[in-house]
Structures are given as structure tokens and as C-alpha cells.
A and B are shown apart, each in its own frame.
Chain A
Amino acid sequence: MAKTYPSFSSPTIDQVGAEERAARFTKRSIKKAAKVQALKLALNMVDLTTLEGADTPGKVQQLCQKALHPHLGYPGLPTTAAVCVYPTMVRVAKNLVKGSGVKVAAVATAFPSGQAPQDVKIRDTKYAVSEGADEVDMVISRGKFLSGEYEYVYDEIAAIKEACGKARLKVILETGELGTLDNIRKASDIAILAGADFIKTSTGKISPAATMPVTLVMLEAIRDYYFKTGTMIGMKPAGGIRTAKQAVHYLVMVRETLGQDWLTNQWFRFGASSLANNLILQLIKQRDGVYGSMDYISKD
């Protein structure tokens, strides 16, 4: 693989303007049928996630059940898009979701810090893929990025992409550590040019995780790349999106920034652990007119 660091320039970002634009999406009023449609769509875009040192096969098995059957009391609900686990849990998950359409995503490359030698990261990635991961969520080397070693970051992403083989690569920028929207835009451009299939905001281990202005800047990077090349890149905000209302705001933002073609779980995902149940709660409210008890909604 001889991809060389390309010459490109990222546009500057005005933070105040980006925040204002992001806030505008939250003013859209999504009601009735449009809301139900959005809630189901969002549920179908969730990467149901467990990324704990304490994860066990038992815990992952339960998570997979939840992904396949989000809520028995609401027939016809879609599954989530994927389950997202550590590489060592991939095989357990893969066996459980086989044939369902639910993907298995593995975080790799010394998640969440990314502080490991590159060969270790490549081995980590290859291991996850060999265990059956459909998707790999890698972290960029933020330390290298912040010290200006953009070529290193680029080369590393390209190397991981190669190690992924057929698995789709999501590149986590860990935007909460990048400091400015200008940096986030630049990191997005580097990731896309280096071969990311998806760009993703956060590991969920750092605060702030996903925010709307950050996601907007990344969506705009995806849009600009599409304008230039006709190639679609996916987007995954992760961490901090806990309520159905937030999820709907994100969908509005995707719809009005990238259009209809991105409104599918092939191109947009939510990395979240508690969002699914809030979506279910709101779906029940829309159907029955009243909120149900959370005791009727499974907590896996």
C-alpha cells in the first residue's frame, strides 16, 4: 500500500456560526407520523454498545438479544444496526446475530487511547476481523495529530484500512480531545482521504463526546468530499446521545446537510448504549398516547 499524504486544504470553521447552524436544526418541530418514522429510523441506526473492562460473554449475549429484539411489546420494530464490542467479544456476538442483518462492530487499535505501536494496532485490527467483525472502529493517534504529525495519522489510518480487508472502517477522531472545530474538520478530511468508510466523533470515554456542532462539521466534510468525488462516506456520532429528542435533532441535521441518501444505517449510525430504550419509550408514547413504565422495557 503506497498511499501518500495528499495535498489538500481544509476550510476554516467559524465556531459561533457552526453552533448557530447546529442550534437551528433543534428548532424543527417533528410531530406525529414524522416522529414515529424518525424514532424507528433512529433505532435502526443504533450501534448498541458495551465497552467495559468488565464485559463478559454473558453481558454480550444479553446485548445481542436486545439488538435483535429491542422490545417485544411493540411488534414490527426494526433491529438495531449493530452491536459494538471489544475484539475479544466479537466471536460471541457474531454467533448470536448471525443471519439477522445485525452487524458486529469491534473497537480496535488500542481503543480508547490509541497509545500503542502501529504494529500492535494492526494486529489488533486483524484479530478483530479474523474473529468475524463486520466493522472496525479505530481511534486516531490524537497525540500525533496535536503535535502536527498529520502524515503519521494519515498513514496509520491507511494501514488499518488495509488490515480491515472487507470490514468497513470507522475512524474515531475523539473530537473532545482535538480542541477546535478547525482541527475536527482537518482530522475528518485526513480520515476520509486515508480511506475511512465512516468517520466517528468519539470513543464515549472522553467528555465532551458527540455534540451537534462537531457532528455538523464532520457532515460538511463528508458532503464536500461527495461534491468533489461522488463518493459517500458514513457518519457516526457516539457518546452523549441519550434521548430520542436528541436523536431526532441529529436526523434533521443529516437530512438537511446530506439529504435522503444518508438516512439509512448504511451511512449513519448512533453509537449509544442507553438511547435505544429511550427511543422505545417514546415510540410507545406515540402509539398509546401515554408513557409506559420503564419496568416493561428490558434493560440489557
Chain B
Amino acid sequence: MAKKNTSSPALNFATDWTYAPAPESTGHVEIKKQYNLFINGEFVKPSSKKYFDTINPATGEVLSKIAEANDKDVDKAVKAARKAYETVWSKMPAKERGKYVYRIARLIQERAREFSVIESLDGGKPIRESRDIDIPLAAAHFFYYAGWADKLPYAFPNAQVKPLGVAGQVIPWNFPLLMAAWKIAPALATGNTIVIKPAETTSLTALKLAELIQDAGLPPGVVNIVTGAGATGAAIVNHPDVDKIAFTGSTGVGKIIQRAVAGTDKKVTLELGGKAANIILEDAPIDQAVEGIINGIYFNQGHVCCAGSRLFVQESVAEEVIHKLKTRMETLIVGDPLDKNTDIGAINSQNQLKTIKEYIKIGKGEGAEFFQPSCALPKNGGFWCKPTLFTNTAQSHRIVQEEIFGPVLAVQTIRTVEEALTKANNTPYGLSAGVWTDKGSKIFRLTSKLKAGIIWANTFNKFDPTSPFGGYKESGFGREGGVAGLAAYLNVKG
């Protein structure tokens, strides 16, 4: 046996054997120089005549120019959606509607590779995630809801259900195609027509989806995709002929939307921010919990509304967990999103990077202990941030209270299960939470008392179309996914 000459043994990850770059090829991907708005089944120029750049956040290079939709364009899209609803979509037998949704699902599968590469190019997420999670899950959502299209009476027994009409949907930049699928699939399956706006930094896969929807032969106007920034979103929200608003994004914008629709007959679902508690108890499977912490906060650069950004560790195992966590962080590979070995890609935008850096500064200023692994970051025009850990934090810290939406974890220790509950619930958010323990009774106790819409036990950040997703408190209301996700797009008369 070799005795290492060191008082606190560390593992040596500065290895002789390094992985050669393994970039996914982009040769098969077609990105046009310019994209127009998708209204009434065709691509039309914006009446604003304005286009904005969409860039690759890993290099800063311009990928394409995207049309900016103004009030007039949105009005055109809503009119097209209304006409399609009245004349075709609401009259079509449910079975036929389902066929279209199935067709979209199959086409996404067929073009999965192209979608994955574009998602990573435009949004900065690692190709491993877009390839293994985002795109397959998007297809799965379409498959799942396609199946419901002609079975709605079974989902709502002894009730009559009717579609709402025209759904206005505004989605975020963290899971561009997946969020589009979460919104579009249930709305279509339940018989609504759609005007959807992707986020301005990540419009490309939604526009590719528009092409796919054309190829699927969907009747014109059933799905309209308008691009632009906040003003375009506001035009959808404020349009008088929209029956339903579905929004995923920040709590701040969610509140604006709720004010805007107050007094109207628009139905609303909001999926907003989060500051999830991930609770590690002393009898947890520690190594799997460490992996769950990593997956909870560093998945998709931490750009995840349900990210496990507040870690609570029982004091008796805190030292071990944090030591193992830091060791694990040393093995994370940060860099080119298109490299198959990348664990953490580029921050989605310059703005977001600025926000994250600001919070890191705040965390240091608040006296929390700061840690980043020794990994190298690419030196180019991209937006990069190392995975970051703050220990010795407290509920009174801003980095514990506020959603950072980046790869920044704040760790607190707890002494008892009761304390974990109190602190976990001590937040205006309530989207998700995680519990790690080997004891079933503790799992049931915690999951029944945590005020969060999604709670994982001995895992984190797991998604499935059959499972409803949505928040408590300021994390929003309404559910997406599962049977509950159908209700958000239906009038249910019991």
C-alpha cells in the first residue's frame, strides 16, 4: 500500500489522459441568414421591417437575423389563429387532430439531431443535454398529448370539455424547444389554436419547428410563431381576442401579466421563478446525493426555474458532502457546448452573465465562503461562468433569497428535519424541492409538508410528460404535463 504524503488527501484530476475534443458536426444543419414570422402557415416579413441578431453565446458570432413582430403582426397572427379555430380546428374530429400532433412528434424524432445542434448553437447548452434531454423530451410531450386528443372524456369523466379558443403563449430561453412543446402540444390536443412567442435570444428551434409544422401539413393558422422581445410578448398578452395566456418566465414579468389580464376574461397559467431547496439528510445515499446536487444546480448552466439552488445539508454529514461536492466539481468540463464531453456550456446571454457575476459579487460581499473548481474557461467571445459554490450562507443572504438563474449554489446546514422544513418553506417561491434520505417515512413527512409543486425524492430535475409541473406561491399557478396539463386549455363543465 502506498501512503500518500499529504495531511488532507485530495484526488489528482490534473490528468495525463485528457479527452480529445469531440465536437458534434454542424454540417447537416441548415440555418437561414434571416427568418420571418410564421403566420397563417407561411413565413411573412414583419410589418416593422426590423430584424434583430441571434448569436451563438459560446462565440459571440451572429447566427441569423430574426424578424421583430410588432402589434400589427401580432394582430395578424391572432386573426389567423381565430379563423383557423373557427373554421377548421375546433370542427375537426378529435382523432384527426391527434394525428397531426403525432405527426409533429414523429418529425421531431426524425430531425432530432438537427434540432439538438441548433439548440446548443443558439442557446449555449451542452449537446449532451439537448441530444439526450431537451429534444427527446419535446417529442415525448407531443406523443403524450397526441394520445389524449380523442380521449378527453376519459380525462374528465362526467364533464363536458371545450377548448378555450386562441391561446397566446410566451416562453423562456432556457429550454427553447422543450418549452414550446410543453405549450403547443396540450393546446393543440385540446383543440385550441396558438400564437406563440419564443424568447428573443433563442428563436431558432421554434422557427425550425415552424418549418416542421409546415411539413406536417397542419392547417394554416393553427400554430403561429411570432418572434421578438418583451414588446411582442406584451402585444400578445394585451390582445383582446386572445382567450388564454400561458407564460413561462420570471416572477417579475408574471406579475405584470397578471395585472394586464385582470378584469378581462382571459384564462392564465403562469410558470415562474424558483429557489428550490435540496435537502440532504444524514442517512442519505451520499454519493448519489452529491450527483443529485450537481444535476440539481449545474444542469443547463443553472438556467432552470426548478434548479436546486438552495442546498440544506444535515450538519453531521455536511463536511463529507461538501468535500465530495467540491471534488466532483473538479471533474466538470466547462466549454464548447457542441463538444460531446462538455458538462457545462455557455451562459445564454451577456445580460445573464452580468446578472450572475453580480450575484457572485453580492455573495462574496455578504461574507459567504466562495468556491470554484480549477477548470479552464475558453478564451473567446463567449459567455462563461465556472460552477460556483457558496458555503456558510444563511436565509438572510440575498444569494439565498433571490433567483440567480445561473450555476451558483448556496449551502446551508440544518440540524433537524423540522429546521429543514421551516427554512425550505421560508421563501416566496414554491416551484420544486428535493429530499435525500434512505428512510421512506422521512420522505413522506417532508414531501407532504414542503410547499412546492414538484418534489423529488432521491433524485432531482427529472421530467416526464405524464407528470404535472407547476408552482406554489410566487412560482405561479396552473400545471403543465399530465392530465392536469389538459385542464389548462379547456373549459370543464361538470
Contacts and interface: CB of A to CB of B under 8 A. Distances in A.
Given A20-B291, A32-B20, A230 B340 contact: no
B262 interface: no
30 contacts: A12-B283, A12-B284, A13-B287, A13-B288, A14-B438, A16-B459, A17-B285, A17-B289, A18-B287, A21-B287, A27-B340, A28-B340, A29-B341, A30-B22, A32-B20, A33-B20, A34-B17, A37-B17, A38-B17, A223-B11, A226-B9, A226-B11, A227-B323, A231-B4, A232-B4, A256-B13, A258-B11, A261-B11, A263-B15, A263-B17
Interface string B275-290: 0000000011111110
A57 interface: no
Most chain B CB within 10 A, of A27, A29, A231, is at A29
A256 B19 CA distance: 12
B11 A34 contact: no
A115 to B, nearest CB: 29
Contacts of B14: 260
Contacts of A38: 17
A156 B11 CA distance: 31
A231 B19 CA distance: 27
A31 interface: yes
A259 B15 contact: yes
A107 B287 CA distance: 32
B344 to A, nearest CB: 14
Given A11-B285, A12-B285, A28-B341, A233 B12 contact: no
Given A230-B4, A230-B6, A231-B4, A34 B286 contact: no
A280 interface: no
A41 interface: yes
B291 A13 contact: no
B2 interface: yes
A45 B452 CA distance: 50
Interface residues of A, number: 39
Interface in A211-249: 220, 223, 226-227, 229-233
B17 to A, nearest CB: 6
B12 A11 contact: no
B491 interface: no
A189 interface: no
Most chain B CB within 10 A, of A11, A197, A226, is at A11
A17 B1 contact: no
Interface of A: 11-14, 16-18, 20-21, 27-35, 37-38, 41, 197, 220, 223, 226-227, 229-233, 251, 255-256, 258-261, 263
Nearest to B332: A256
B15 A17 contact: no
Contact of A30 (B15, B19, B331, B438): B19
Contact of A17 (B13, B132, B292): B292
Interface string B1-41: 11110100101111111111110000000000000000000
B291 A21 contact: yes
B458 A14 contact: yes
B21 to A, nearest CB: 8
Interface string B449-460: 000000000110
Contacts of A32: 20
Contacts of A261: 11-12
Nearest to A227: B9
B12 A260 contact: yes
A73 B458 CA distance: 51
A253 to B, nearest CB: 11
B19 A197 contact: no
Contact of A260 (B6, B17, B19, B341): B17
B13 A231 contact: no
B458 A251 contact: no
A38 to B, nearest CB: 7
Contact of A255 (B1, B17, B323): B17
A54 B371 CA distance: 58
B128 interface: yes
B459 A17 contact: yes
Contacts of A28: 19, 340-341
Given A14-B288, A197-B1, A34 B323 contact: no
A259 B10 CA distance: 9
Give 3 nearest A-B pairs by CB, closest first: A17-B288, A29-B22, A259-B11
Contacts of A260: 12-17
Most chain B CB within 10 A, of A14, A18, A223, A229, is at A14
Given A28-B341, A231-B1, A260-B15, A18 B288 contact: yes
Contacts of B283: 12
Nearest to A258: B11
A16 B458 contact: yes
A259 B18 CA distance: 11
B439 to A, nearest CB: 9
Given A16-B458, A21-B288, A263 B16 contact: yes
A261 B10 CA distance: 11
Contacts of B15: 255, 259-260, 263
B11 A31 contact: no
Given A31-B22, A227-B323, A230-B9, A14 B285 contact: yes
Contacts of B284: 12
Contacts of A256: 13, 331
Nearest to B19: A34
A168 B466 CA distance: 53
Nearest to B128: A27
Nearest to B330: A259
Contacts of A11: 285-287
Given A17-B458, A231-B4, A12 B16 contact: no
Contacts of B9: 226-227, 229-230
A35 B323 CA distance: 31
Given A12-B283, A18-B287, 15 more contacts: A14-B288, A21-B288, A28-B340, A30-B20, A32-B20, A34-B17, A34-B20, A37-B17, A220-B287, A226-B9, A231-B2, A251-B17, A260-B12, A260-B16, A260-B17
A30 B2 CA distance: 30
Interface in B103-130: 128
A118 B283 CA distance: 36
A215 to B, nearest CB: 13
Contact of A231 (B3, B287, B292, B340): B3
Nearest to A220: B287
A259 B288 contact: no
Contacts of A16: 288, 458-459
Contacts of B291: 17, 20-21
B276 to A, nearest CB: 18
Contacts of B340: 27-29
A135 to B, nearest CB: 14
Interface in B330-345: 331, 340-341
A185 B22 CA distance: 34
